[in-house]
Structure 1
Amino acid sequence: MITPHRTEFLTDSYGRTIKSLRMSITDRCNLNCIYCHNEGSIGTTGEMSVETISNIMHVAAGFGVNRLKISGGEPLLRKDLEDILVSLPPFKDVSMTTNGVLLRERAQSLKDAGLNRVNISLDSLNEGNYRHITKCKGGIFGKVIDGIRAAVDVGLTPVKLNMVLLKDVNEFEVEDMLSFAREFHGDVILQLIQLMDFGDVACYHVDVDEVERELELKAGCVQVRELHHRKKYLIDGAEIEFVRPVDNTEFCANCNRLRVTADGKLRPCLLVNDNLVDVSHASVEEMSDLFRLAVSRRVPFYRKLKEI
């Protein structure tokens, strides 16, 4: 499919122009993490075909979207992931978030198919802790570590390690994770992630303000990323970012991302389920109008909270 030439961009009523898509290609997962929110999904049926995914992405590219993050569930459970990557239009950046369990065997083929980099979930370097968090069997932890090393070896970099902070579970492991990241000489970045309010997880919430204060004290340099005004801390040769998607108005105010569910619905906001737009059976021509409809429904989540 040839991407139509357009000068139109998708800008919502709050002045936020869509430049990025996050697409779930499956709800299936081979782990069962205690905090998982499944991309905000409330349950879907079926998965999009390669053709449908390609059509969605070509339409998005026609509106100026130039970045894609592939997610799940666990995207590596789809054996046609390489076919999906090959079918995409040329983007500035194509990344994927994965738990890394199946990554070692496919890192090279994913790179060859057009994947630029990966985010890998790793909440603990203690195998017992890891098994508790992911509810997995023995042997999985080692596969994840091998997947990280394989990703670095083939150039899926920078690899970002996603560590969801959990009170009394892994909050004391940040220094160990930083030491692990340093082993890769800049090819691995640690991302600390605030726990989101899905399910019965209140007991795991960490004081994120205190975490940021500690990072600032230790950092030799603090930078601010343009997207979401997210801070990056450089600590003794390791880079660490802190992601606060919930109690952070700037996260919403600077959001330039539209999401796509595994069954083909455009999701204007991760934290809202009542404004989705189904494009799974739409023609390419119809998709353009459905994209416009989805963007017209975008309201910053922090604003909706104020109205409650």
Structure 2
Amino acid sequence: MNSSGPRRTLTDPFGRTVKSLRMSITNRCNLNCIYCHNEGDHGSTGEMTVETIANIVKAAAEFGVDRLKISGGEPLIRKDLEEILSALPPLKDVSLTTNGTLLRGRARSLKEAGLDRVNVSLDTLDPGKFRMITNCKRDILPIVLEGIDEAVEAGLTPVKINMVLLKDINEAEIEKMLKFTKGYNGNVILQLIELMNFRDTAPYHVDADLVEEELLQHATDVTTRTMHHRKKYFINGAEVEFVRPVDNTEFCANCNRLRVTADGKLKPCLLVNDNLIDVSHASPDELPGLLQFAVSKRVPFYGHDTYRQEK
């Protein structure tokens, strides 16, 4: 990319310019969390090659896309993840979301291959609750905690802890988790996540408004992220962000992200599944046009009935 910047952008019909990709590199996962919305099928193994992944990211980078979040399934299941990272073009930020069970012993090699930071799913610090939430019979919580330690030591910071709030399970652990993240001296940030409405999750939903009221009462400072319209609370030296993934039309209105499924389909909108574009076998010359086509199919925000009826 030359110093004058990209000549073209991926701008949708509603003026939103895509600046980041969220790419699933596998649908496989080694856990089976009670709230998982199965962004991918645990049994599926149809995955993009290193070359395909690199070609998609390189094509997007030519349009000014400079951020990449790698997800799954559990992306660390792929043994060639370091190879994938090494094949990417220069980007402003490359991050990874993981359940942390395979992070121990690999954090440094990921950093050396080009990873900038990680998000680690950690809903509880209680071993029994951890086993129940993840449907894992073994006590693997210590392994996850060691992985977080190694990620901080390797410089994959800030490490963001994703804590999905679950009624009558972990909602009383927020203070404990804040104390845990504070112990890393600013290198670890807590993200409290409202449960998405997938599968039979209604009994686990917490009152998000009450949680935010409690955070506000204890915060010494509050800021708001522009894109997500999420509030960040600073409490006794700890930083916590509250994530509302459902019914957030302001998030959609400011969305600058294009998603890529593990089997190589461009997904213009998170909760819309009838406009995917298959690029799994596209050549490098075909990819720019397919990216532009996918972005042209983005809707203003999910559930905008008037727009969808007009289309």
TM-score by length of 1: 0.95
Separation in 2, partners of 1:305, 1:177? 40
Give the number of aligned pairs: 305
Greater alpha carbon shift after TM alignment, 265-274 vs 93-102: 265-274
Q: In structure 2, do the counterparts of structure 1 residues 44 and 63 end up closer, same or farther at CA, with 3 Å as the change threshold?
A: farther
Q: Is the 8 A contact 2:130 2:141 kept in 1?
A: yes
**1:116 paired residue number:** 116
Q: State the AA in 2 paired with 1:149.
A: D
SS at match of 1:39: coil
Distance 1:165 1:37, change over 3 A: same
- Structure 2: how far apart are the matches of 1:27 and 1:106? 20
User: 1:175, CA displacement in angstroms?
Assistant: 0.5
Q: Distance in 1 between matches of 2:180 and 2:103?
A: 18
1:278 paired residue number: 278
Equivalent residue letter for 2:60? A
Residues 28 and 43, structure 2, Cα contact 8 Å, conserved in 1: no
Residue 270 of structure 1: how far off its partner (Å): 1.4
Partner of 2:15: 15
More off after superposition, 222-231 vs 211-220: 222-231
Provide closer, same or farther for how the CA distance between residues 279 and 206 of structure 1 changes in structure 2, counting only shifts above 3 A: same
AA matched with 1:118: V
CA distance in 1, matches of 2:30, 2:303: 35
* 2:300 aligned partner: 300
Per the alignment, residue 206 of structure 1 pairs with 206
1:94-145 alpha-carbon deviations (Å, 9 max, x no partner): 0000001010110000000000000000000101011110001223111000
Q: Give ranges in structure 1 of 5+ residues lacking alignment.
A: none
Please name the residue that 2:168 is paired with: 168
Answer yes or no: is the 8 Å Cα contact 1:219–1:233 preserved in 2: yes
* Partner residue in 1 for 2:264: 264
Which residue in 1 is equivalent to 2:139? 139
Q: Equivalent residue of 2:228, what SS?
A: helix
In structure 2, stretches of 5+ residues that fail to align are none
In the alignment, what sits opposite 1:61? Answer: 61
Match of 1:131, SS?
helix
Percent pairwise identity:
68
Does the Cα contact within 8 Å between 1:10 and 1:18 map onto a contact in 2? Answer: yes
2 CA distance for matches of 1:255 and 1:44?
Answer: 29
How big is each residue's C-alpha offset from its partner over 1:1-40, in whole Å with a ceiling of 9 and x where there is no partner?
x9xx851101111111000000000000010001111337
Map of 2:72 onto structure 1:
72
Match of 1:38 in 2: 38
Contact 1:268 1:295 in 2 (8 A): yes
Could you say what secondary structure the match of 1:35 adopts?
A: coil
Q: CA RMSD in A?
A: 1.8
Aligned partners of 1:24 and 1:70 also within 8 Å:
yes
- SS of 2:286 mapped into structure 1: helix
Shift of 1:182: 0.7
Identify, as 1 or 2, the structure richer in helix.
Answer: 1
For residues 18 and 32 of structure 1, the distance between their equivalents in structure 2, rounded to whole angstroms, comes to 32
Q: Is the 8 A contact 1:38 1:72 kept in 2?
A: no
Structure 1, 79-88 or 205-214: larger mean CA deviation: 205-214
- Alpha-carbon deviation of 1:42? 10
